[in-house]
Amino acid sequence: MPVEILKEKFTGKVQEVVLGATKEEGGTRAYTVKLGGSSTLPFLQFEGEIPNRPVIALEIWDIKPDWHECFVPCYGDVWEDPVAWAKKAEEYGADIIYLRLRGADPELENSKTADDCAKLVKAVLENTGAPLIVEGPGFPDKDNEVLQAVAEAAAGENIALGVAEKDNYRSIAAACMMAKHCIIARSPLDINILKQLNLMVTEMGVPIEKIINDPLTGGLGYGIEYAYSVMERARWGALIGDKMMSLPLICLAGPEAWRAKEANAPNEEAGPGWGDQKVRGVMWEAMTAAALLQAGGDLVLMRHPEAAKLVKKQLEDLMVPNTY
Amino acid sequence: MGFIMIGERINGMFKDIGEAVAKFDPKPIQDWAIKQTEKGAHYLDVNVGPTAEDRVKSMRWMCEVIQEVCDTPLCLDSTNYDAIEAGLEVCKKPALINSCPAERPKIERVFPMAKKYGAGIVALTMDKSGIPKSADMRVAFAMELVAAADEFGLSPEDLFIDPLILPCNVAQDHAPEVLETLRQIKNLSDPPPRTTLGLSNVSQNTLDRPLINRIYCVMAIVAGLDSAIMDVDDDALVDAIATADMLLNRAIYCDSYAKVFRQR
């Protein structure tokens, strides 16, 4: 007697969000990326539709980053030049380029101006073909000023701007609306606030298909299980038809993984059995990303090209239909 | 899918609607269509009322004028099935047929019509001899209706089984029987049929109708009620339903959950 596979029936699905715009769509991107769209839990193709593979964004900064020396072989020759760095990220197979404007931090000496940032974004767009995400320096006033200028400079390209939070979303939402970009809305591991924020952003007039959610993540060993629970619940909300909870999720796997001692500790300070840092750091990041994808991430932000490569391979394997 | 609210207000039993139907004046009907839609109604009940001269003509006209101002699906409420069919012919979205009891000739008229027009059916747990008192008898009628759905090629989910609540000041002992019926209906099939109630009936001629409606609705939701024909203009009632939905973990909490509930 054949075994009957029990299938969960859901009424909702994850909202599909498109990033980037090609020439025909008024931009200059070589391709667009679709996020979300799933009508089932992650990678359960036998149960529903998973129209879009989760994607990988590679992180670049507008200034030289304070990263571990193991990044020197892959990015050391380009990280003084963000445009060259962006091109390199594309060569490493990034689906999306994620530019963090850390140089606009108002507490830095020679803090970059909004105009500097807008010019840089334009230059990155002119020299690359991947869709772009731009994150402000993380100081509300400066974020507003910088992202406004960036939004105008990138008009037509359908980039994503971040990050909007509960107490600072109006200006960013306005900038996104005006230039028809997407917005990244973040809440610190709090699903209730995330839903409220989505409501507030849509009430300002941002279309729901222009919102990406960042539930905030912890690195492997540093609270990833909280992120996992929040993401799992958000996906479940989307699947039972809770529209304000149905947005695709971005996970900051790279930045979080590389905050962990286990990723960075040199071999002489490593615990027993930790192994070589070069392998260990990459694995720490890849494992963090893999867990977050299983929790329902639609876009993982990654840092090390080797880790990104491992995750991309895994994603391709996971996207093979597992029909019964 | 969360709780489904069927707005009860476009019914000729109400004076303003009764007069509008008599004079073919679309304004009061359209005003209530818009207002109930804004309040979050998922369906609008449409009943020509007891005084309409030509129920077929009136039903078709009401459906047409409502659809001029909103695209909320309609719940065609009549004992005259020709009137319902006239309404179904002009409905732009899949409608509900309100209603059909567990009586063979009526099932044979209504169920094929539902199949033809892709409509759902408000199916009543009663027959010619009236409304039974016990939950067991109500459930037996529900089972007949589920079997009939299967026979006519409908899914159990196309049925909105109404276990028929009576006014609490007349038939108080029916209220717990209806709750028990709701519980048992959910075990009749997989997928189970859906359930509904003419909610306002529970409070006919009582002093504080909104209070009784609200409390009974929440009790019924816990027992398995999926929808109600109700006063969607009663904000406290809708808030109570939104809260029950959230506390049953069917929607994720946020500070404005009751507002999000109305946007579905």
- The residue written with tokens 């060993």 in the block is A221
**pLDDT at res. A222:** 84
Put simply, whether B255 touches A (Cβ < 8 Å) is yes
**pLDDT at res. B1:** 63
Tell me the DSSP string of A154-172: TTTS--EEEEEBTTB-HHH
- The residue written with tokens 């065609």 in the block is B76
- Find the mean pLDDT for residues A267-286: 94
Please, what is the average pLDDT of chain B?
96
* Residues B148-196: tens digit of each pLDDT: 999 999 999 999 999 999 999 999 999 999 999 999 999 999 999 999 9
For B252, the closest of A9, A11, A195 (CB atoms) is: A195
Put simply, whether A279 touches B (Cβ < 8 Å) is no
Interchain proximity B254–A240, CB inside 8 Å? no
CATH topology of domain A17-315: TIM Barrel (3.20.20)
Pairing assessment for the beta strands B227-230 and B96-101 based on DSSP bridges: unpaired
Interchain proximity B260–A241, CB inside 8 Å? no
Residue (of B47, B128, B118, B34) closest to B84 by Cα position = B47
Give B259 to chain A, closest Cα distance, Å: 9
Instruction: List chain B residues with CB under 8 Å of A199.
Output: 254, 256, 259-260
* Residues A235-266: tens digit of each pLDDT: 999 999 999 999 999 999 999 999 999 999 99
Please, what is the average pLDDT of chain A?
95
Put simply, whether B260 touches A (Cβ < 8 Å) is yes
Closest residue in B to A10 (Cα–Cα) = B1
Beta bridge pairs of residue A176 = none
Dist CA A175 CA A169 (whole Å)? 10
Closest residue in A to B259 (Cα–Cα) = A199
Over 80: is that where the pLDDT of B118 sits? yes
Q: Based on C-alpha coordinates, what's the Rg of chain B?
A: 17
Instruction: List chain A residues with CB under 8 Å of B255.
Output: 192, 196
**pLDDT at res. A8:** 86
Put simply, whether B248 touches A (Cβ < 8 Å) is no
Interchain proximity A195–B253, CB inside 8 Å? yes
Q: What is the sign of the dihedral through the CA atoms of A262, A264, A265 and A267? A: positive
Q: Are B159 and B118 in contact (CB under 8 A)?
A: no
Put simply, whether B190 touches A (Cβ < 8 Å) is no
**pLDDT at res. B160:** 98
Instruction: Indicate whether this complex's ipTM tops 0.90.
Output: no
Dist CA A9 CA B236 (whole Å)? 32
Per-residue three-class SS string for chain B? CCCEEEECCCECCCHHHHHHHHHCCHHHHHHHHHHHHHCCCCEEEEECCCCCCCHHHHHHHHHHHHHHHCCCCEEEECCCHHHHHHHHHHCCCCCEEEEEECCHHHHHHHHHHHHHHCCEEEEECCECCECCCCHHHHHHHHHHHHHHHHHCCCCHHHEEEECCCCCCCCCCCHHHHHHHHHHHHCCCCCCCCEECCEHHHHHCCCCCHHHHHHHHHHHHHHHCCCEEEECCCCHHHHHHHHHHHHHCCCCCCCCCHHHHHHCC
**pLDDT at res. A2:** 80
Query: And the tokens for A318?
Result: 């996971």
* Residues A121-156: tens digit of each pLDDT: 999 999 999 999 999 999 999 999 999 999 999 999
Instruction: List chain A residues with CB under 8 Å of B192.
Output: none
Dist CA A77 CA B121 (whole Å)? 70
Put simply, whether A166 touches B (Cβ < 8 Å) is no
For B251, the closest of A11, A193, A242 (CB atoms) is: A242
**pLDDT at res. A179:** 96
- Find the mean pLDDT for residues B99-127: 98
Q: B residues 86-125 near A, CB within 8 Å?
A: none
Q: Whole-structure pTM over 0.80, yes or no?
A: yes
Put simply, whether A191 touches B (Cβ < 8 Å) is yes
Interchain proximity B254–A196, CB inside 8 Å? yes
Over 90: is that where the pLDDT of A219 sits? no
Dist CA B233 CA A14 (whole Å)? 31
- Find the mean pLDDT for residues B130-134: 96
Q: What is the sign of the dihedral through the CA atoms of A100, A102, A104 and A110? A: negative
For A199, the closest of B251, B253, B260 (CB atoms) is: B260
